[in-house]
Amino acid sequence: RAEPSRADPWARLPGAGLPLMPLLQLSLLALLVLLGGSARAARGHERGQGPPQPFELLSNRAVEASSAGDFEAAVRYLEQALSSRRRLRCRLECGARAPLGTARGGGGPAWELRFLRALLERARCAHRCEREDEGSRPVERHATAAARVLSRSAEDVRLAFQKRMPYSYLQQAYSQTNQMEKAAEAAYTFLMANPEHMAVPSHDENTETVTGAKLVDREAQLHLEHYRDAVEHYEADDFQLAIESFEQALKEYFVADRECRLLCEWSQSYGDHDKLAKTDGFYEVIAGLYSQRLICEHDCVRELATWPGQLSPIENFLPLHYDYLQFSYYQVGNYVKALECARAYLLFHPDDEDVQDNVKYYESALEESVDPQTIKPREDATIFMKRHKLESELIMSAVVNLGIPYTEQNYWIHDGGRQEDSQALALCSGLAQQLSVPAGGPLLYSHVKFVYNSKQLNGTQRMLLDDVLSEEECRELRSMTSRIMLAGSGYQGEVSPLTPNEKFEGATILRALKFGYEGRVPLKSARLFYDVSEKARKIVQSYFMLNSTLYFSFTHLVCRTPLSGEPQNRDDLSHPIHADNCFLDSDTNECWKEFPLAARDYSAILYMNEDFEGGEFIFTGMDSQTVTASIKPKCGRMVSFSSGRENPHGVKAVTKGQRCAVALWFTLDPLYRELVRSPCDASQWSAAGLTCSPQKCLSSFPAS
């Protein structure tokens, strides 16, 4: 028999191993936040009972309050809204304290009354628990709480929440009321959902922050974090650690699943009277409500597999745990567990031939010691699938009999882990569109020299300029870099994230400002970093003749240094070939878009030195191999290009010295602009320096 085949890690997030984002649990509860919309005025009580009120308050009053400058009120409303999540605990407890299951059995005419008693007990428990939570304040209740109207633009709300917009408001409100630590925490939570390039930075150095406090991502999702770790161990062939992490990930998955389901007790669709009105009868209404909740619960599979800021879930997410595990257990010689996991995987994909073969292999390996037929699929998967199937059946029955609109999702694409081209991410927008885009606008600064256009660079939407910086400016930036650089910046502190042969260091605008403000580098130098990036932005916007504002999406000062003793004849790259706003798949000639990276429209790299060897910037074809243009960095040189599939690029190995540059990414979409920048715009600078503290810069999210 062939050796068991290995679960292919394609399904990890593209760019895994690089900073991945914790999941925002996109709860339906969260959806409520903006669903009410500003058209619906808050009803005047400050502490609502049950989530609809707080979220209504968030949508109406907090936003209103913060735009009216009443930040204390905004904080209060926002805190309340976010704390609703904590009420989940009540639901959890009451689920255990007042089980509906006791109503079962016995039969006879009293059955329904017993069920009603259990139902009332559950409701009473939840009611009381939430009141305790809220303190003793009298609570106005709205009988119409359930009568909320489902917004027609649910997708917008979903997006806004996936971008954690509430946290950006919260952060602003905190900072205005001088609660800096909390502001930083909210900012961090926001940033985690608004990270940057897969092969470029998240904002990790902000974790040690301005306030020195260790920040927590309030929406971090343990199951995804463990999963990410597990896949990393697996890829490193460290199977024992992979097993531990996958097991932990599964445990956390089921915890998160329970929580996700509880949120469905407040599903916004209950209020959709249009659907219920047609079926007025008692049982029809109950069945309708029940079905809505079931649909909501059923969709938790999708919610739990989705990273924050991303629209599509990781495909085949839950089953993959078992696939990875079966191979890992096989690797450490535990065939019983390997078989249990392989069988568990088959519950999801009974026809998967690779795993079927693995099952046969494990069976024959075990034959001598145990009867393989006594080894069942893992219990957690069995229970899960049993319920999942039953849910599907019931929902389908509701669809057919009650006319509830619903289309079952394909929760785990069957092609599963072993085929490469099954990723269903959105395709990059067409090349043709790019070709027609104009370029050649004015360079704005007389000292800036034009070098090459797209054609001379053998591509589209590219340009090369010289003398964007003076020698003096290069020197000043260079001398600042050595003092503010953070190893592995943007890569969660990993020192050599892109190639093992080089050390990677970086610094964000915020870090530069912070160091400047604290006097650790000349404030003037920090300001220079800020100003040259703005200059670059203006040039790019003008040259590519963009008729709408180009916003910063991220700015990063980066240096690459070969590690000593490394071979001179390297054939690795300093930065592997990639496109900036999509995930290049050279085999299929496609480039897959996923937000937030997909929001990037233009990129620029501004060089500040040439006293190193190697390190040429290269453009390649879609094959990632054919070099179509090569650029030798030097002080003041700037290459800029559109961020899409038309411009795959990378950096050749740096073999001697240190190569430093300012990397800039821009977006035309204000939703994705760089958070820390706008508040620190030129108006905050006086002759004496920075008039606002970097804390403020971090924490005041620009109002739009």
Ligand X SMILES: *[C@@H]1O[C@H](CO)[C@@H](O)[C@H](O)[C@H]1NC(C)=O
Residues that bind ligand X (CB under 6 A): 437-438, 452, 457-458, 545-547, 629-630
Q: What is the DSSP letter of 683?
A: G
165-176 helix and 154-162 helix, angle to the nearest 10 degrees? 60
Q: Least distance to ligand X from the beta carbon of 627, Å? A: 8
Distance CA 35, CA 46 (A): 19
CB nearer ligand X, residue 215 or residue 468: 468
Render the burial of 88-106: b for 16+ CB within 10 Å, e for the rest: bebbeebbeebeeeebeee
Closest approach of Cβ 542 to ligand X, in Å? Answer: 11
CA 276 from chain centre, in angstroms, equals 36
Q: Is the distance from CB of 662 to CB of 555 less than 8 angstroms?
A: yes
Q: What angle is formed at CA 387 by the lines to CA 300 and CA 410, rounded to 5 degrees? A: 50
Measured from the CB atom, the residue of 425 and 651 that comes closer to ligand X is 651
Decide whether 279 or 458 has the Cβ nearer to ligand X: 458
Nearer to ligand X, 254 or 452 (CB): 452
Tokens for 215, please give them. Answer: 């920040």
Q: CA angle, corner 207, sides to 206 and 212, nearest 5?
A: 95
The H-assigned helical ranges of 135-238 are: 154-162, 165-176, 180-192, 222-235
Residue 457 CB, nearest approach to ligand X (Å)? 5
The Cα 152–Cα 473 span in angstroms is 52
Task: Output the six-digit token pair for 249.
Answer: 């990930």
Structure-block tokens of residue 143: 């009988």
Min dist. Cβ of residue 651 to ligand X (A): 15
CA–CA distance, 331 with 78 (Å, rounded to integer): 49
Shortest Cβ distance from residue 629 to ligand X (Å)? 4
Q: How far is the CB of 451 from ligand X (least distance, A)?
A: 9
What is the smallest separation between the CB atom of 472 and ligand X, expressed in angstroms?
28
Pairing type for strands 627-631 and 617-620 reads antiparallel
Round to the nearest angstrom and report the end-to-end CA distance of the chain.
64
**Of the candidates 688, 355, 673, 393, the residue with the CA atom closest to the CA atom of residue 533:** 673
Phi, psi of 608, deg, nearest 5: -125, 0
CB of 550 to ligand X, least distance (A): 11
Distance, in Å, from the CA atom of 179 to the CA atom of 186, rounded to the nearest integer, reads 11
Encoded tokens for 326: 């079966």
Nearer to ligand X, 171 or 461 (CB): 461
Q: Is residue 86 annotated as part of the catalytic site, yes or no? A: no
Beta carbon nearer to ligand X, 194 or 461: 461
> CA-CA distance, 430 to 645, in Å (whole number)?
9
Position 160, amino acid: A
Please, which residue, 240 or 433, has the CB nearer to ligand X?
A: 433
Q: Which is nearer to ligand X, 220 or 627 (CB)?
A: 627
Strand 659-667, strand 600-607: pairing: antiparallel
Active-site hit among 6, 462, 659, 673: 659
Comparison of 31 and 550: residue with beta carbon closer to ligand X: 550
Pull the structure tokens for residue 73.
């009120």
Judged by beta carbon, residue 48 or residue 459, the one nearer ligand X is 459
Q: How far apart are CA 513 and CA 695, in angstroms?
A: 10
Q: In the sheet that 627-631 helps form, which strands lie side by side, from edge to edge?
A: 573-578, 649-652, 617-620, 627-631
Minimum distance from residue 53 beta carbon to ligand X (Å) = 46
Closer CB to ligand X, 434 or 496, in the complex: 434
CB of 544 to ligand X, least distance (A): 7
Annotate 344-362 with three-state secondary structure: HHHHHCCCCHHHHHHHHHH
Q: How far is the CB of 462 from ligand X (least distance, A)?
A: 9
Where is 507: in which H helix or E strand? strand 502-508
DSSP 393-438: HHHHHHHHHH---------S-TTGGG-GGG--PEEPPPHHHHHT--
Sign of CA dihedral 219, 126, 98, 281: negative
Nearer to ligand X (CB atom), residue 418 or residue 538: 538
What is the number of the residue whose Cβ is closest to ligand X?
629
Considering the complex, what minimum distance in angstroms separates the CB of residue 630 from ligand X?
5
Residues 54/35, Cβ–Cβ less than 8 Å: no
- Taking CA atoms, 476 is separated from 470, 485, 506, 521, in Å, by 10, 14, 16, 11
CA-based Rg of the chain, rounded to a whole angstrom?
Answer: 28
Q: What is the dihedral of CA 342, 347, 349, 350, to 10 degrees?
A: 90
Tell me which residues are annotated as active site.
659
